[in-house]
Amino acid sequence: MSDIRIAVVNGGKSAEADVSRSSARGVIEALKEHFSSVTSVELDSNIVQALADCKPDVVFPILHGPPGEDGTLQGFLEILGYRYVGSDVHASAFAMDKIVAKDIFRTAGLPVAQQCVVTREADIAISADSILKSLGESVVVKPACQGSAIGVTLVSNADELHQALQQAFEYDPRLLVEERIMGREITVGVIDTDAGTKPFPVIEITTPENSWYDFAHRYTQGWSEHLMPADLPDEQTWDLQSCAVAAHQALGCRDLSRADFVVTDDDIYLLEVNTLPGMTPTSLYPDGARGYGMEFPELVKYLVERAANR
């Protein structure tokens, strides 16, 4: 299948556009080890013509955040009749919206943190008071539909909450506010195979003291470490892998995803699922794939061929 024509769509105007371009460079380099026609396509107003010019058999979206990861691009590609790597419209939209995703997880019986949902239309002071009464002072404020921890604030007291809400509303009119769970940051990638959805090894993410896995620590070389396999009891490891697979299936994801967790001594909490996980040199999904037994060039080749055969 070396004559498959591939368009790697990346960039755009999202807050994560530069990360997308960085991921795309690595993906393109790896794909060229197996395929003769690999074209980088910018997500902009010229994308229709750019795709028509390269006539791809498969589109590989390397995009983070809206509109590339939330179902918008996926619907566009389906209307134009292009096969593409990754989840379809509905699964992409469900996973990108943290509020909707958590409703789906809860319905599926998966372990999630307590939460409040607030909107920009409501008075911030009233919303803050409701959050404090429901969850207490130690919470995490998240825009509903952003990735890479953009707009996320860890709140330790009531004085910080008002500002955290204001900052998050700059990115999204709807916010998910969760109880802050003190635990270890864990992630598990999964991949679809002919034998079903299979989990990668469990990875623990560590950052320097008094820091967390925010945007800078995700994408700056040396600012975080990936411990694989995570040093966890066998039962907890199995629970995390099972939960990652169940979350992937509950959302209706396709091809690949990565589930993020917080883990305490006794419990696991599913935070979110990424349908287009990062593919930069510091990214977690390629690390998990290597632990599973797939080097990066083999991984991207597999995903392209899976899409081509649909």
Asked if the model's pLDDT at residue 254 lies above 90, the reply is: yes
Lowest mean pLDDT among 116-125, 143-152, 234-243: 143-152
With b meaning 16 or more CB within 10 Å and e meaning fewer, what string describes 56-73? bbbbbbbbbbbbbbbbbb
Q: Which residues are catalytic?
A: 16, 148, 219, 258, 260, 272, 274, 278
Write down the pLDDT at residue 221.
57
Q: What are the pLDDT digits (tens) for 202-225?
A: 999 987 665 545 444 454 555 568
Q: Where in the chain is the domain with CATH 3.30.470.20?
A: 94-111+182-295+302-308
pTM metric for this prediction: 0.91
CA–CA dist 89, 58 (Å, integer): 16
**In this structure, CATH architecture of domain 5-85:** 3-Layer(aba) Sandwich (3.40)
CATH superfamily of 94-111+182-295+302-308: ATP-grasp fold, B domain (3.30.470.20)
Q: What are the pLDDT digits (tens) for 258-279?
A: 999 999 999 999 999 999 998 8
What's the CATH code, domain 115-179? 3.30.1490.20
Mean pLDDT of all residues in the chain? Answer: 92
